[in-house]
Amino acid sequence: MDDSQTMKILVIDDEQDIREGCVRVLKRIKGCEVSSAPNGTEGLGVLQKEFFPVVLLDLKMPGLDGMEVLQEIKKMEGREILVIIITGFATVETAIEAMKHGAYDFIPKPFDPTQLRIVVERALDKIRLTREAEMLELERQKTLADLDTEKSRISAIVKSLPIGVVVTNNAGQVVLMNPSFKNLLGLDAGRVPGEDISSYVPDQGFCDLVNEISRCDVIEDSEESTYELVLDGNKFLMTRGRPVLTESGDCLGAVVTLGDISSIRILDQLKSEFVAKVSHELRSPLSTIHEQLGVVLKDMGEDVDAQEDQYILSRAKEKTSGLISLIGDLLDLSRIESGGLAHNIQRVPLDELLKSIVDFLGARAKAKDQTLSLSLDGDSFPPLTADPLALESVFGNLVTNAINYTGEGGRIEVSMSMESGLLRVAVADNGYGIEERHQAKIFEKFYRVKDENTRFITGTGLGLPIVKGLVEQLGGEIRLDSAPGKGTTFTVLLPVEKQHAV
Ligand code: ADP
């Protein structure tokens, strides 16, 4: 039992027998420390120095009598002392008198140990209950104080966050915005929340997203939606939003953060320009070397003595052709990143374009003993308005990948259909497949999966980023469905109506 739970009792009585008897009986109560004083003056002296929550006080004593001592005790400041009066004149009057002066209880003389214990234990119980109530109250106050500090701490943190934060309710009205948000959007520092998100952000795409998240329409609690907000054509903000849900899953609204990525975008642009420039400079000399190697190899003919040189030169020719295709990919990519390949926009019948790709790559598939087929679900398809080279690049890359990442004797099927006003082209293979953890990453530049199947396949890791970039410029989307060991299907959906940039 710790000190705070020890109950100290003081017995003030001039009769030695009673005093010592009380001490003996009370010491047996668990957790009690008992002291005694032979008269009122000494008793008060002890109480001045030390706190005793329970005092047993004889009424009739020489010198200061019990009633006077009681009055003095009641005047003492600090925690409450429960006084139990011991009286030989147990009359109703004395009891009332003592109670009037603030005694807690009384016990008539003569009393036996059990009676004494009962009265004292009742007092001790009351003290314990009072202490518990005090503790609870203290705890409640502390929790309230903590909550208060927590609230102001969180609000200070949100205010000083370097990223913009905006919170909406489930009707899409702004309930909180921090200074960074106002700053990024060029809003007045004094602008207050309360209006619809569209009053603060002049961008339909962003507002649609915020409204959808606010209603918790589109995404699960764990998912995050992103949107790139471009202001005045030169300020790029990456926005990320999540719904705010209660523990029971009710939708409270949305929380959206905004980060300024303008410098990253500018760097990206500079990098693309640099890569485009370097690639361009390298392409002609490399093509010349490639051609000249071809000429030298041809001149060497079937010369048996020069077989080793021929091997070295043909390896060099292979490498230059790899470099030329890398340069081609880099140039395509930087053109896409700088806003499109809009050279030769025309009406393109996609079914015919696919037929020619399948014919052209058929030889490559045949070399691996693969079947490459095209199936058209329908007789006529509306033409697309686009640069045919861009479309060739998209489907050429996908079919080449299907051939590359499918083993000998595999099957590749290109199918085309119309789906809710969109042209749908699927390139399906029964090849190596792609593990889930790589699936999002393969659309990133230079990302290649290296495992025992793909280790020896050469490539640049730029094909799919080019495909994705082009499909997005065509206003469409690309989906991937793949299972390791079973195969892969890339599905491209393209709108027919849109006037395409590429
Ligand atoms: P590259 O083919 O030059 O490596 P891509 O960007 O075209 O670059 O493809 C990236 C990666 O995606 C490839 O390295 C390969 O691991 C994987 N991949 C692409 N297409 C397929 C496919 N049809 N089946 C299996 N893996 C594929």
Assign 1 a pLDDT band (cuts: 50, 70, 90): very low
Gyration radius from the chain CA atoms:
44
Q: So what's the pLDDT on residue 193?
A: 93
Q: So what's the pLDDT on residue 22?
A: 93
For the sheet with 422-429, list strands across it: 371-376, 411-419, 422-429, 487-495, 477-483
Q: Which of 207, 240, 238 is nearest to 224 (CA)?
A: 240
**pLDDT exceeds 60 at position 340:** no
Nearest CA to ligand 1 atom 8: 461
Distance, in Å, from the CA atom of 482 to the CA atom of 293, rounded to the nearest integer, reads 40
Residue type, 325: S
Which DSSP letter does residue 417 get?
E
Q: How far is the CA of 8 from the centre of ligand 1 (A)?
A: 82
C-alpha distances (whole Å) from 29 to each of 8, 32, 198 are: 11, 6, 73
Angle at 91 between CA 90 and CA 96, to 5 degrees: 105
Name the E strands within 59-178.
82-87, 105-108, 164-169, 174-177
Give the residue-averaged pLDDT of 228-251: 88
Residue type, 119: V
Angle at 25 between CA 110 and CA 62, to 5 degrees: 50
Taking the alpha carbons of 109, 112, 114, 120 in that order, is the dihedral positive or negative?
positive
Q: So what's the pLDDT on residue 100?
A: 85
Phi, psi of 246 (to 5 degrees): -80, 175
**Cβ atoms 325, 460 nearer than 8 A:** yes
Assign 2 a pLDDT band (cuts: 50, 70, 90): very low
Across all residues in the chain, what is the average pLDDT? 88
Q: So what's the pLDDT on residue 429?
A: 98
Which of ligand 1's atoms lies nearest the C-alpha of 461? Answer: 8
Phi, psi of 105 (to 5 degrees): -160, 175
- Length of the chain equals 502
Q: How far is the CA of 127 from the centre of ligand 1 (A)?
A: 78
**pLDDT exceeds 50 at position 348:** yes
**pLDDT exceeds 80 at position 5:** no
Give the residue-averaged pLDDT of 62-88: 89
Distance, in Å, from the CA atom of 64 to the CA atom of 175, rounded to the nearest integer, reads 70
Tokens 């913009």 locate to 164
Q: Which of 437, 344, 419, 429 is nearest to 382 (CA)?
A: 419
Which of 442, 478, 490 to probe ligand 1 with, by most ligand atoms within 8 A of CB?
442
- As given in the structure block, the two tokens for residue 438 are 């790589």
Q: How far is the CA of 442 from the centre of ligand 1 (A)?
A: 7
Residue type, 45: G
The three state secondary structure string of 209-267 is: HHHHHHCCCCCCCCCCEEEEEEECCCEEEEEEEEEEECCCCCEEEEEEEEEECHHHHHH
Phi, psi of 112 (to 5 degrees): -100, 165
Q: Kindly give, in sequence order, each residue whose CB lies less than 8 Å from that of residue 417, ignoring residues fewer than 6 positions away.
A: 376, 377, 378, 424
Q: So what's the pLDDT on residue 219?
A: 53
pTM: 0.54
- As given in the structure block, the two tokens for residue 55 are 């005092």
Distance, in Å, from the CA atom of 97 to the CA atom of 71, rounded to the nearest integer, reads 11
Which of ligand 1's atoms lies nearest the C-alpha of 402? Answer: 23
Distance, in Å, from the CA atom of 210 to the CA atom of 213, rounded to the nearest integer, reads 5
Q: So what's the pLDDT on residue 218?
A: 60
User: Could you read off the pLDDT of 103-133 as tens digits, one per residue?
Assistant: 998 888 888 899 999 999 999 999 999 889 9
* Ligand 1-lining residues (CB < 6 angstroms): 397, 401-402, 405, 429, 431-434, 442, 447-449, 454, 459-464, 488
Lowest-confidence region among 84-98, 169-183, 204-218, 366-380: 84-98
Q: Is cis: bond before 53, omega within 30 of 0?
A: no
Which of helix, strand or coil describes residue 85?
A: strand
Question: What is the bridge-based pairing of β-strands 174-177 and 164-169?
Answer: antiparallel
Residue type, 434: I
Nearest CA to ligand 1 atom 11: 448
Nearest CA to ligand 1 atom 20: 401
Lowest-confidence region among 173-187, 301-315, 478-492: 301-315
Q: How far is the CA of 258 from the centre of ligand 1 (A)?
A: 33
User: Could you read off the pLDDT of 415-451 as tens digits, one per residue?
Assistant: 999 988 899 999 999 999 999 999 999 999 889 998 8
Other beta carbons less than 10 A from residue 127's beta carbon: 17
- As given in the structure block, the two tokens for residue 340 are 């499109």
**Cβ atoms 334, 275 nearer than 8 A:** yes
**Cβ atoms 107, 84 nearer than 8 A:** yes
What is the share, in percent, of the chain residues with pLDDT greater than 70?
95
Angle at 337 between CA 333 and CA 342, to 5 degrees: 85
- As given in the structure block, the two tokens for residue 36 are 């005694």
What is the share, in percent, of the chain residues with pLDDT greater than 90?
55
259 forms beta bridges with 238
**pLDDT exceeds 50 at position 407:** yes
Give the residue-averaged pLDDT of 17-35: 92
**pLDDT exceeds 60 at position 342:** no
Nearest CA to ligand 1 atom 23: 402
Which of helix, strand or coil describes residue 475?
A: coil
Which of ligand 1's atoms lies nearest the C-alpha of 462? Answer: 6
- As given in the structure block, the two tokens for residue 245 are 């849900």
Which of 333, 372, 394, 448 to probe ligand 1 with, by most ligand atoms within 8 A of CB?
448
Which of ligand 1's atoms lies nearest the C-alpha of 427? Answer: 23
